[in-house]
């Protein structure tokens, strides 16, 4: 039976893949956006510095042509229109006294010469200090010249740029999620196609194959390899099945003939001393025939033969019929047989095989659990399964040896003295597998409880109709 696992999204393979892919997208987009931001800021700063460098060059030219006097006049002219072009300018002598400009004094701690550096300056007539990008120059005469440009435009541009980059990053998250979901969907589709093949093979349909698209990509090559492996497995299983069936059929015919001849000879035997020998031979031949028939029936069930005869049937009614059939044998053995059967339990399956499986469990209970004095038949239902159980009150089977009892031809030491083939529980397990159910042995405290769980209200046969619970 298949179950549906509900995991937190981030704990599933698909969820982890989405998160990993999103993290990789962000790891790629983040540095790229950071590079774009700093590169644009550098270009903007270079564009911002270019006119200031031009103005600083003009001031130095005035100094070269007319000395400090002409430079002082030029600085005064520049300071008069400083608020129009958003500049700060100051000329001081070697002792730091102001000669001209729109700053009250030389900024403390600002060296000259100094390449472009940000500084907080308060121009004459301004209400507060503002951030400027400043370039300082020391003239041959010892005078110092300061020229700066207001960074308000740059800061506003940087804010706008940051908003745009954060918007791009925020947009990359849903795009990454959607892209990841599409990739996961395609990945799940591929896995589902391969899983679909595995489910058919698990149900005994070894002829099912994965569909090849001819692209030659790794997935297509995987499907080709899977199909080749299934071809090989199908051939080997078919050869093994053919050999086993042929051997069983070939053995069954001569053994049946021998059994008939022994029965006839037993009826014609004149000497009483020959009868026990003929009877023993007949019993052993019957046992061998029973083993062969059981092995063939298990092979057919494991191969999926009988699934085409699935139909909806009432399990409670079937269990009640079995109880009536085995009640005389139970009374003869001194065993009390009870039945607790819920009504309205329908399954889709092969009624004959399920009845045979439960009959095997009752046979085993009468053989090995009669000493407990009580055998109970149970039929109940859960949301997903119909549970059929046969329980006794004898010694039971130790948990460590239950797997041995379920093995084909597996017989415990306590059962070797009784008549049997060791195929009864194997047949029950094969029938459970045919119906996509489970079979287990449980401790009945005391005794053994054999539990057969069959899917409820589910279509098992291909194209079959679901049962109404």
Are 86 and 176 within one domain? yes
292-350 pLDDT tens trace: 665 666 666 665 555 666 788 888 888 899 989 988 888 888 888 888 888 888 888 88
151-196 pLDDT tens trace: 776 677 777 778 887 887 778 778 777 877 887 787 788 888 888 8
Residue 108, token pair as written in the block = 């403390």
Are 39 and 145 within one domain? yes
Residue 468 belongs to some domain of the structure: no
Residue 342, token pair as written in the block = 């819920």
Task: Determine how many CB atoms are found less than 10 A away from the CB of residue 121.
Answer: 21
| Burial class of 215 by CB neighbour count within 10 A (0 to 12, 13 to 18, 19+) | exposed
Query: Distance between CA atoms of 354 and 360, rounded to whole angstroms?
Result: 10
**Residue where a domain stops, chosen among 256, 278, 300:** 300
State CA 357 to chain mean position distance: 35
Are 244 and 172 within one domain? no
Q: What is the pLDDT of residue 402?
A: 62
Check if the beta carbon of residue 143 is closer than 8 Å to that of residue 60.
no
Are 32 and 82 within one domain? yes
Query: Distance between CA atoms of 201 and 126, rounded to whole angstroms?
Result: 86
Ramachandran category for residue 373: left, alpha or beta (phi over 0 → left; psi -120 to 50 → alpha): left
The region of weakest confidence among 97-101, 113-117, 242-246, 258-262 is 242-246
Query: Distance between CA atoms of 283 and 286, rounded to whole angstroms?
Result: 5
Residue-range definition of the domain harbouring residue 267: 218-300
For the chain, the maximum distance between any two Cα atoms, rounded to a whole number of angstroms, is 157
Q: What is the pLDDT of residue 2?
A: 41
Q: How does DSSP classify residue 468?
A: P
Are 438 and 350 within one domain? yes
The region of weakest confidence among 64-78, 155-169, 257-271 is 257-271
Which residue shows structure tokens 């194997």? 426
- Given a cut of 60, is residue 377 above it in pLDDT? yes
Residue 210 belongs to some domain of the structure: no
Are 387 and 350 within one domain? yes
Are 151 and 270 within one domain? no
Of the two residues 273 and 17, the one the predictor is more confident about is 17
Are 323 and 427 within one domain? yes
Residue 337, token pair as written in the block = 């047989």
**Residue where a domain stops, chosen among 262, 280, 300:** 300
Are 351 and 379 within one domain? yes
- pLDDT category at 146 given cuts 50, 70, 90 is very high
Residue 410 belongs to some domain of the structure: yes
Are 191 and 315 within one domain? no
Structural domains counted in the chain: 3
Query: Distance between CA atoms of 124 and 147, rounded to whole angstroms?
Result: 14
**Residue where a domain stops, chosen among 243, 275, 300:** 300
Q: What is the pLDDT of residue 78?
A: 81
Check if the beta carbon of residue 351 is closer than 8 Å to that of residue 313.
yes
107-139 pLDDT tens trace: 988 888 888 888 888 888 888 888 888 889 899
Query: Distance between CA atoms of 199 and 208, rounded to whole angstroms?
Result: 10
Are 328 and 387 within one domain? yes
Instruction: Show Cβ contacts of residue 88 under 8 Å, excluding neighbours closer than 6 positions.
Output: 82, 101, 102, 103, 121, 123, 132, 134, 146, 147, 148, 149, 150
Residue 422 belongs to some domain of the structure: yes
Coil/strand/helix, residue 143:
coil
Are 74 and 134 within one domain? yes
Residue 461 belongs to some domain of the structure: no
């Amino acid at each position: 039976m298949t179950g549906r696992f509900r995991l937190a999204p981030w704990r599933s393979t698909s969820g982890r893949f989405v998160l990993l892919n999103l993290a990789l997208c962000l790891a790629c987009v983040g540095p790229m956006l950071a590079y774009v931001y700093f590169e644009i800021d550098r270009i903007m700063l270079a564009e911002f510095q270019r006119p200031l460098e031009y103005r600083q060059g003009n001031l130095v030219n005035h100094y070269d042509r007319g000395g400090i006097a002409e430079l002082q006049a030029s600085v005064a002219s520049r300071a008069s229109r400083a608020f129009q072009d958003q500049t700060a300018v100051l000329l001081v002598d070697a002792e730091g006294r102001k000669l001209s400009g729109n700053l009250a004094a030389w900024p403390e701690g600002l060296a000259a010469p100094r390449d472009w550096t940000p500084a907080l300056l308060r121009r004459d007539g301004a209400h507060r200090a503002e951030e400027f990008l400043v370039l300082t120059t020391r003239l041959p005469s010892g005078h110092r010249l300061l020229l700066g440009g207001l960074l308000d435009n740059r800061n506003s541009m940087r804010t706008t740029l940051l908003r745009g980059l954060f918007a791009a990053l925020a947009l990359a998250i849903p795009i990454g999620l959607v892209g990841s979901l599409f990739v996961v969907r395609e990945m799940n589709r591929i896995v589902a196609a391969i899983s679909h093949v595995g489910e058919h093979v698990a149900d005994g349909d070894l002829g099912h194959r994965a569909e090849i698209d001819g692209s030659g990509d790794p997935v297509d090559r995987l499907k080709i390899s899977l199909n080749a492996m299934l071809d090989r497995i199908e051939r080997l299983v078919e050869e093994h099945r053919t050999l086993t069936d042929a051997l069983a059929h070939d053995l069954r015919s001569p053994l049946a003939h021998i059994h008939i001849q022994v029965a006839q000879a037993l009826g014609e035997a004149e000497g009483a001393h020959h009868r026990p020998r003929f009877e023993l031979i007949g019993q052993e031949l019957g046992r061998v025939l029973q083993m062969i028939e059981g092995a063939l029936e298990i092979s057919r069930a494991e191969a999926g033969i009988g699934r085409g005869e699935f139909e909806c049937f009432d399990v409670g009614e079937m269990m009640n019929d079995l109880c009536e059939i085995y009640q005389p044998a139970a009374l003869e053995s001194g065993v009390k047989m009870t039945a607790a059967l819920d009504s309205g339990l329908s399954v889709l399956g092969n009624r004959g095989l399920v009845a045979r499986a439960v009959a095997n469990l009752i046979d085993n209970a009468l053989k090995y659990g009669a000493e407990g004095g009580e055998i109970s038949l149970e039929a109940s239902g859960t949301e997903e399964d119909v549970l059929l159980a046969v329980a006794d009150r004898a010694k039971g089977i130790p948990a460590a040896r239950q797997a041995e009892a379920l093995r084909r031809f597996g017989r415990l030491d306590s059962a070797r003295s009784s008549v049997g083939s060791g195929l009864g529980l194997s047949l029950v397990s094969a029938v459970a597998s045919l119906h996509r159910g489970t079979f287990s042995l449980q401790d009945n405290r005391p005794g053994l409880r054999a539990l057969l769980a069959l899917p409820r209200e589910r279509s098992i046969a291909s194209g079959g109709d679901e049962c109404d619970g």
